[in-house]
Homo-oligomer: A and B are copies of this chain.
Amino acid sequence: MKKSLIALAVLAASGASFAQSSVTLYGVADFWVGSTSTTDAAGVKLSQTVQNGGGYNGNRWGLRGVEDLGGGLKAKFQFESGFTIDDGNVANGATMFGRQAYAGVEGDFGSVTAGRQYTSYDSLRGATNHAFDAGVAVTGSVWGFGVADYAGRTNNTLRYDSPTMGGVSGSLSYGLGENKTATVNASSQTSLHVKFAMGPILAGVGYQAEKVAAVTTKYTLIAGSYDLGVVKLNAGFNKADNTVLQDSEVQLGVSAPIGANAAVGFGYATADSETAAGADNGKRSGIVLTGYYDLSKRTRAYAATNNTTTKNAAGATTAKTATTLAVGVRHSF
């Protein structure tokens, strides 16, 4: 007992306890072991055993805090650093807080934040991706065919999230390129979503326009999920187009709980790419099957396999297939 009191006294005296109460240190440790296998355009197959990470959620550590300013107003911040657990390197293009680095205020009016952060489009897509939006889901890889996939996070970004009224909420984010020159306007990333979420239903539309010099690439998403209890369904339809290409993209998913601590999920995604003139630019599709078992609230064991197949446009040399098999553990702290 005395020891505890001394410890307490130390905490109180040092000010550390209060300092710590204003910031939460958190993270994810996720590793898996398995194999990757690719077949290139010439039909040559390459398989190997790997130890990787982020099969379920990306490895990260971060700092976040919320301060109550009174009158319903709160200040908040979040700095989040992604890394690869297999070699210890910073992820996200070696950007320290490449996952998130923002601060802002929230109140009855909603939330306003500034910094490097998720786009509004991303927030809808992440919530409606198949296979628990896990790292092994194939949507990113498949929808990245043809028109490159959208930027999930943007720099120099202002974002507003509305409060929810009758299940409806909206979000708008705008990334300032800050690269204006005497002859070229600044780049920008405009992103928004409107969604309806009530009980088992989530449905929404998202839009993102990424402008670089005179070229703008647009992403338009209609997506949702429906939780029937025995299974949860999700679906998304995306249109990605710029002045060169236009892709029609679909994803479908179904997941089913097995008791209170486990679930299995299946996902499918496809992307059909055409030139602006309407000529075939190839097609990619993929499937993923994954399941998890929660060893505790913070620790999840998982297994997954996925496969993507690419039907190239004439003359293209993209790899034909890519397959991953993974067994891993994700631990949150």
Interface residues of A (CB under 8 A from B): 1, 3-5, 7-12, 14-27, 29-33, 44, 46, 48-53, 59, 61, 63, 65-67, 69-70, 73, 75, 77, 79, 81, 83-90, 92, 95-105, 114-116, 155-158, 176, 178, 180-182, 186, 295-296, 298-299, 329, 331, 333
Known: A77-B29, A115-B31, A178-B50. A20 touches B24 (CB 8 A): yes
**CA–CA, A30 and B103, complex, Å:** 7
**CA–CA, A113 and B90, complex, Å:** 20
**CA–CA, A59 and B83, complex, Å:** 20
A11 contact set on B, CB distance < 8 A: 7, 11, 17, 20-21
A186 contact set on B, CB distance < 8 A: 48
A81 contact set on B, CB distance < 8 A: 96
A105 contact set on B, CB distance < 8 A: 329
Q: Chain copies in the assembly?
A: 3
A298 contact set on B, CB distance < 8 A: 22, 67, 75
Of all chain B residues, which has the CB nearest A26? B19
Do residues A88 and B116 form an inter-chain contact, with CB atoms below 8 A? yes
Question: Knowing that A27-B63, A29-B77, A59-B101 are A-B contacts, what are 20 other residue pairs whose CB atoms are under 8 Å apart, sorted by A's residue number?
Answer: A4-B9, A7-B12, A14-B21, A16-B21, A16-B24, A17-B20, A19-B333, A20-B20, A31-B104, A46-B182, A51-B156, A51-B158, A67-B296, A69-B296, A77-B333, A85-B101, A86-B101, A87-B95, A88-B99, A90-B96
